[in-house]
């Protein structure tokens, strides 16, 4: 028992979120280096060479040279066992990116210092807010010309609605970048551009910095010294107080400035992050909160991925362990399926390698072979008490296509393929509100998923489809139980549809129409997230 508690307390499970190109891959690589999980920088996904190394599962990825899928990387550092949940970085990201955040206990938001908050960061951030998880900010690329740090913090606070607490403060940027001032330790981490690391060891000169000592100006230059003194005075006097409770509930984000590419500020960030971020916390289920330290194993499926290995045509269900200890060969209860099962081939993804594992603990992610029984959000547990975790919301798709089957003789394969791909959570299927199965509308979070759908139906199910783009961009679930859709008065561009469970939904071309429809129908409650 003491052993289980000890192991679980070491776990730190987080996702890194960013807009493409902000430096997520580079930061992940450097973090893995500290854990000794990879030997050389560049081996996670070298941008143009082997971008798809981790998830080399589909031609489409190869053709486009991008990573569509996400993976999990585990490493140990300084007594902690760290799970990084990687999220697809491309613009055309899918719902998987959102779901991955449901499995994380905290998030690291990487922001490009020259660009600030970008659209994708904003979207992902909304999902973090949904769960109140701690959010840490790494403002990257300080070795390049950056925007004013005050502007960047203001933007985060204003655009994302979270307070910020700079843990360190940059001294200049770009060619003038001198390093960062650690506000707590009151020392300067001096910047020296270092590209390569040997065995994860890296020495950064640290200067004890008593700001009242004008001698500092010899080191960082007179004007930098003066600016730093003013900045620190202002931050200490007018900035927010550091409040651990606010950090733990995602209301205050500790901010770190650095440069992932030159490995500057990464290790201090990692150390502080591990100190401030929580081990696995209780998760809500239908019987109340499930304590991670209870001995009975429990987990939920947050992602299903087909064709991880093209040679085997397999399907893997990724589970987040929420309590206890998992052992290979263990018999578990699949709540939604109502059956006892053995989880086959439990594995963990370590950088590029898949490794069969013998045990895992609350906080860890395991991938198990899925013969087609799991759906997103399913609960797996052991012990006398059977329960279900809260489930994973369905995230609003932003692109819609009508799907036509080219050869109508292959109806069976078509239905099978569509429903399996939907079960994996790659697409969402809707129907016209009034007509039958003939009219099928597919919604996706990223447009690339349409290509994935067409490609997979063709190659795996031998079915050709034709897609016709629809103009809708906004979907809303109707929360009112007793709604009479026939009498709902919407805008002329609004479309009434239903999902496969029969729930009514509305499609809109723009957000103005959403507002207008709400105005016209008193008491109507619309939601951006659907319940599974």
Q: Which residues are annotated as a binding site for GTP?
A: 18-25, 86-90, 140-143
Cα(255)–Cα(253) distance, rounded to whole angstroms?
6
Mask: binding to ligand G4P, 78-97, rule CB under 6 A, as x and -? -----------x--------
**Residue 255 binds to ligand G4P (criterion: CB under 6 A):** no
Task: With contacts defined by CB under 6 A, name the span among 256-264, 373-381, 421-429, 437-445 that binds ligand G4P.
Answer: 256-264
Give every CB contact of residue 215 below 8 A, 6+ residues apart in sequence.
none
Q: Which of 124, 160, 260, 266 binds ligand G4P (CB under 6 A)?
A: 260
When the beta carbons of 97 and 428 are compared against ligand G4P, the nearer one is 97
Among residues 41, 108, 81, 72, the alpha carbon closest in space to that of 263 is found at 41
Give every CB contact of residue 365 below 8 A, 6+ residues apart in sequence.
13, 72, 83, 85, 103, 318, 319, 320, 321, 348
Give every CB contact of residue 527 below 8 A, 6+ residues apart in sequence.
476, 477, 478, 479
**Residue 25 binds to ligand G4P (criterion: CB under 6 A):** yes
CB 137 within 8 A of CB 111: yes
CB 136 within 8 A of CB 106: yes
Mask: binding to ligand G4P, 266-305, rule CB under 6 A, as x and -? ----------------------------------------
SS3 assignment, position 251: coil
**Residue 22 binds to ligand G4P (criterion: CB under 6 A):** yes
Nearest-approach distance from CB 24 to ligand G4P, in angstroms: 3
| 3-state percent breakdown (helix, strand, coil) of the chain, nearest 5 | 25, 30, 40
When the beta carbons of 20 and 390 are compared against ligand G4P, the nearer one is 20
> 């050709």: which residue's tokens?
464
Q: Which of 69, 83, 87, 140 binds ligand G4P (CB under 6 A)?
A: 140
Task: With contacts defined by CB under 6 A, name the span among 23-31, 283-291, 343-351, 468-476 that binds ligand G4P.
Answer: 23-31
**Residue 107 binds to ligand G4P (criterion: CB under 6 A):** no
**Residue 18 binds to ligand G4P (criterion: CB under 6 A):** yes
Give every CB contact of residue 302 below 8 A, 6+ residues apart in sequence.
99, 100, 102, 103, 318, 319, 320, 376, 377, 392
> 């551009």: which residue's tokens?
193
H-run or E-run covering 118: none
When the beta carbons of 124 and 505 are compared against ligand G4P, the nearer one is 124
CB 346 within 8 A of CB 325: no
When the beta carbons of 146 and 381 are compared against ligand G4P, the nearer one is 146
When the beta carbons of 26 and 298 are compared against ligand G4P, the nearer one is 26
Q: Which of 11, 12, 26, 495 binds ligand G4P (CB under 6 A)?
A: 26
**Residue 144 binds to ligand G4P (criterion: CB under 6 A):** yes
Task: With contacts defined by CB under 6 A, name the span among 255-263, 371-379, 404-412, 506-514 that binds ligand G4P.
Answer: 255-263
Which residues of this chain interact with ligand G4P, rule CB under 6 A? 18, 20-26, 47-48, 89, 140-141, 143-144, 259-261
């Amino acid at each position: 028992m003491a052993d289980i508690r000890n192991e679980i307390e070491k776990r730190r499970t987080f996702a890194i979120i960013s807009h493409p190109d902000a430096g997520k891959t580079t930061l992940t690589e450097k973090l893995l280096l500290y854990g000794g999980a990879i030997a050389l920088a560049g081996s996670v996904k070298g941008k143009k060479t082997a971008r798809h190394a981790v998830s080399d599962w589909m031609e489409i990825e190869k053709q486009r040279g991008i990573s569509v899928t996400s993976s999990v990387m585990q490493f140990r550092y300084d007594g902690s066992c760290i799970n990084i949940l990687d999220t697809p970085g491309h613009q055309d990201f899918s719902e998987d990116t959102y779901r991955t955040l449901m499995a994380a206990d905290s998030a690291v938001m990487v922001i490009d210092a020259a660009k600030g908050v970008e659209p994708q960061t904003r979207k992902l951030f909304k999902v973090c807010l949904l769960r109140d998880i701690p959010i840490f900010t790494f403002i990257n690329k300080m070795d390049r010309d950056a925007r004013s740090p005050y502007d960047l913090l203001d933007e985060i606070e204003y655009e994302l609605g979270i307070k910020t607490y700079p843990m360190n403060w940059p001294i200049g940027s770009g060619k003038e970048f001198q390093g960062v001032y650690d506000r707590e330790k009151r020392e300067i981490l001096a910047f020296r551009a270092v590209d390569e690391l040997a065995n994860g060891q890296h020495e950064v000169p640290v200067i004890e910095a008593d700001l009242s000592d004008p001698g500092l100006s010899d080191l960082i230059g007179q004007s930098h010294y003066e600016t730093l003194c003013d900045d620190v005075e202002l931050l200490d006097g007018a900035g927010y107080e550091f409040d651990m409770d606010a950090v733990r509930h995602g209301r205050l984000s500790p901010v770190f400035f650095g440069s992932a590419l030159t490995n500057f500020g990464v290790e201090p960030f990692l150390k502080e992050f591990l100190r401030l971020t929580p081990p696995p916390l209780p998760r809500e289920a239908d019987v109340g909160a499930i304590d991670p330290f209870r001995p009975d194993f429990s987990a939920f499926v947050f992602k299903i991925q087909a064709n991880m290995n093209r040679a085997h045509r397999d399907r893997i269900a990724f589970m987040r362990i929420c309590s206890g200890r998992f052992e290979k060969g263990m018999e578990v209860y699949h709540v939604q399926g109502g059956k006892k099962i053995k989880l086959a081939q439990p594995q963990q993804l370590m950088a590029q390698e898949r490794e069969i594992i013998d045990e895992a603990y609350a906080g860890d992610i395991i991938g198990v072979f899925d013969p087609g029984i799991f759906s997103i959000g399913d609960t797996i547990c052991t012990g006398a008490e059977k329960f279900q975790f809260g489930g994973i919301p369905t995230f609003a798709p932003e692109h819609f296509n009508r799907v036509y089957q080219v050869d109508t003789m292959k109806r069976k394969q078509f239905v099978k393929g569509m429903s399996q791909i939907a079960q994996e959570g790659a697409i969402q299927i809707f129907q016209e509100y009034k007509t039958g199965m003939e009219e099928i509308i597919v919604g996706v979070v990223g447009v690339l998923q349409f290509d994935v759908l067409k490609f997979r139906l063709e190659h795996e199910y031998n079915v050709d489809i034709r897609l016709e783009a629809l103009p809708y961009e906004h979907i809303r679930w109707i929360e009112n139980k007793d709604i009479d859709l026939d009498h709902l008065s919407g805008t002329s561009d609004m479309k009434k549809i239903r999902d496969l469970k029969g729930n009514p939904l509305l499609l809109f071309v723009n957000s103005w129409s959403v507002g207008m429809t709400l105005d016209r129908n008193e008491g109507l409650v619309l939601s951006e997230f659907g319940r599974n």
